[in-house]
C-alpha cells in the first residue's frame, strides 16, 4: 500500500496515520455529512434572547450592556399593551448610560436598537410613506387654468 496517507486522532491522544492509494483518493468520497443547523437569530427556539446574535451589534456587551440587557429583556418578555410600555424606567436608565458614550452610541445605534426590538416583537418594518404625485389632481389643474 504505497502513497496512502490520512492523519487522524487515535487512542490516548496519539495520531494514527492511514495510508490511501491514488485510486482510493481519485474516487469521490462516500461520506455524507448531516445538514447544518440553521444559525439562531435574535430569539432562540425556546423563546429566550440570543445575546450573542450579531444583529445586536455588540449592544449587549458594551459599556451599557447590562442596562441594554435589562431593558431589552423587559421589552421581550413584556405582556403590557402596547408591548414594552411597562419598561420605560429601564430604557431611561439605558439611554442615560448611552448618553455618556456618544462616540459608541450614536444615531445609527438607535436605529439598530429599534430594528432589534421590532424583530423581537415580530413587527414588520413600517411601510414607506407614499410618494408625492407627479401631476396635481384635476381640480387643482382646472383652478390653475390647465384644462388638460
Tell me if 143 is assigned to some domain.
no
CATH number at residue 84: 1.10.287.2900
pLDDT for res 116: 67
Its pTM stands at 0.52
- Dist. CA 124–CA 85, nearest whole Å: 19
Q: Is the pLDDT of residue 128 over 60?
A: no
79 within 8 A of 87, measured Cβ to Cβ? no
Overall domain count for the chain: 1
CB atoms within 10 A of CB 55: 12
51 within 8 A of 68, measured Cβ to Cβ? no
| 114 CB-side CA count, 13 A | 8
Please calculate the CA angle 38-69-124 and round it to the nearest 5 degrees.
Answer: 55
Tell me if 43 is assigned to some domain.
no
Tell me whether residue 56 is exposed, middle or buried, using C-beta atoms within 10 angstroms of its C-beta: 0 to 12, 13 to 18, 19 or more. Answer: buried
Length of the chain: 148
Q: Is the pLDDT of residue 131 over 60?
A: no
Interval 54-81: pLDDT, tens: 999 889 998 999 999 999 999 999 999 9
Tell me if 38 is assigned to some domain.
no
Tell me if 100 is assigned to some domain.
yes
Tell me if 31 is assigned to some domain.
no
Interval 37-53: pLDDT, tens: 888 899 998 999 999 99
- Dist. CA 101–CA 64, nearest whole Å: 9
Tell me if 16 is assigned to some domain.
no
Tell me if 58 is assigned to some domain.
no
Domain that holds residue 114: 65-121
Tell me if 93 is assigned to some domain.
yes
Amino acid at each position: 500500500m504505497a502513497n496512502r496517507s490520512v492523519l487522524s486522532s487515535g487512542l490516548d491522544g496519539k495520531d494514527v496515520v492511514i495510508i490511501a492509494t491514488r485510486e482510493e483518493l481519485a474516487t469521490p468520497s462516500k461520506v455524507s455529512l448531516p445538514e447544518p443547523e440553521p444559525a439562531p437569530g435574535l430569539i432562540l427556539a425556546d423563546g429566550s434572547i440570543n445575546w450573542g446574535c450579531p444583529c445586536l451589534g455588540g449592544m449587549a456587551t458594551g459599556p451599557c450592556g447590562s442596562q441594554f440587557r435589562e431593558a431589552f429583556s423587559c421589552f421581550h418578555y413584556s405582556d403590557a399593551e402596547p408591548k414594552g410600555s411597562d419598561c420605560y424606567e429601564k430604557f431611561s436608565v439605558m439611554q442615560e448610560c448611552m448618553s455618556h458614550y456618544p462616540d459608541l452610541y450614536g444615531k445609527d445605534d438607535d436605529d439598530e436598537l429599534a430594528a432589534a426590538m421590532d424583530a423581537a416583537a415580530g413587527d414588520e418594518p413600517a411601510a414607506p410613506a407614499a410618494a408625492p404625485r407627479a401631476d396635481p389632481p384635476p381640480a387643482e389643474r382646472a383652478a390653475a387654468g390647465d384644462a388638460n
